[in-house]
Amino acid sequence: MKVRIAELLEKRGKTQYWLAKETGLTPLTISKLVKGKTSGIEFATPEVICKALSCQPNDVLQVGGEKTKKEK
């Protein structure tokens, strides 16, 4: 899965800090999501992000390509 938060923030002229304040998520959580450094998220996380960015879950999460050998 690919998290597209950075693209959505850029389109809206918003920052990761703004998103953290708007959602109540920590800046570290937002940063990890943006950098793809997380292995899982709670169902509530995409929901609060979508509410803050006025978008749908499929705007935030995108199915990626094939996994590399390291990811399998």
pLDDT digits (tens, 9 = 90+) for 12-47: 999 999 999 999 999 999 999 999 898 888 999 999
pLDDT at 24: 97
> Would the pLDDT of 65 be above 80?
no
Report which DSSP code applies to 21.
H
Kindly report the CATH number assigned to the domain that includes residue 33. Answer: 1.10.260.40
pLDDT at 70: 54
Q: Is residue 70 part of a domain?
A: no
34 burial via Cβ count (<10 Å: 0-12, 13-18, 19+): middle
Cβ neighbours of 24 (radius 10 Å): 10
How far apart are alpha carbons 50 and 58 in whole angstroms?
Answer: 10
How many domains does one find in the chain?
1
Domain containing 23: what range? 2-62
Q: Is residue 43 part of a domain?
A: yes
